Amino acid sequence: MQVKHSKYKNSGILFELLVRQITSDTLDGKESPAKDILKKYFVKTELGREYKLYETLLKKTSLTETKANIVINTLVESSKTLNRGTVKRQKYNLISEIQKHYDLNEFFNHKLPNYKIYAAFYTLLEITNSTNTINPEQTINNKVTILEHLTAANIAPNKVRDEVMEEFEKADKDVRLIAYRSLLENFNTKYDDLHPNQKVILKEFITSIDNTTRLREFYTDKINEIKSELISLNKKTKNQVTQIKINEIVSLINPPSKNSRITDNDLVDLLQYYDLINELETVNE
């Protein structure tokens, strides 16, 4: 028998998606039902206790194989102390409540950087707490996946290099998410004057933070849109000095190359370009 992974029942994924939804709602300038849902189901609950196991696992890296095995065994044993019936019921109620406020397909339509680890750990916990006979190969595969997250021992040089770069990318994304979420803490009072296009940009950078292709496509579309808008507005500008400066800026605005990585600096550039567009619109009125 094989245990199938379910993102609808994975407390690590559910928690991460709720946090992202709160961020997205805040950028839209509206109250976020996800905030109350998160508090209701993850604060001092059995589901919250299960999520803590995922959180602990994700924080552990660069361990020796011995320590990594101790971490896995400890977390698995801890999962046995949970009331599985209560956890199952809380997950069912959580999904029902999310469905009342959001489209489930859209809510779950996000590529998470740690998805593979979340899935392996969920499956391992389900296997551990199942009364059915499970294919041992599945247990081995999941443990290997988790061990590769916890330690780089006995891995070929090329694999080590790939994993190091992958972890670096993940860390960078986490830092960016923290920065964006920090910005949002005072969003309603400090950033009320953001142009709607700037809010759209911030929202897209957060929701696509782990989707390089989608973010690059979004950035390219915005760059082309901004360039066309500036050219159009500049034709209406009467001040020749301003026209010259705008032409210089326009000449520097180019879409990214096919393999370019979109960074925070690109985010700042887009926000500033829209500030410039707003100023030109005001001047031309």
**Tell me: the pLDDT tens digits for 99-151?**
999 999 999 988 888 899 999 999 999 988 887 766 778 888 888 889 888 98
Evaluate if residue 11 carries a pLDDT over 90: yes
- Per-chain mean pLDDT for the chain: 81
Q: Could you identify the residue written with the tokens 């001092």? A: 44
Q: Is 209 exposed, middle or buried (0-12, 13-18, 19+ CB in 10 A)?
A: buried
Evaluate if residue 185 carries a pLDDT over 50: no
Q: What is the pLDDT of residues 44-72, one digit of tens each?
A: 999 999 999 999 999 888 888 888 888 99
Residue 132 carries which DSSP code? S
Evaluate if residue 159 carries a pLDDT over 50: no
Q: Could you identify the residue written with the tokens 């019921």? A: 89
Question: How much is the average pLDDT of 74-102?
Answer: 95
Q: Cα-flanking dihedrals φ and ψ of residue 31, to 5°?
A: -65, 140
Evaluate if residue 30 carries a pLDDT over 80: yes
What's residue 165's pLDDT? 38
Q: Which of 79-88, 130-139, 154-163, 240-249 has the highest average model confidence (pLDDT)? A: 79-88
Q: What is the pTM of this model?
A: 0.61
Dig out the tokens for 69 from the structure: 């095995």
E strands, the chain, are none
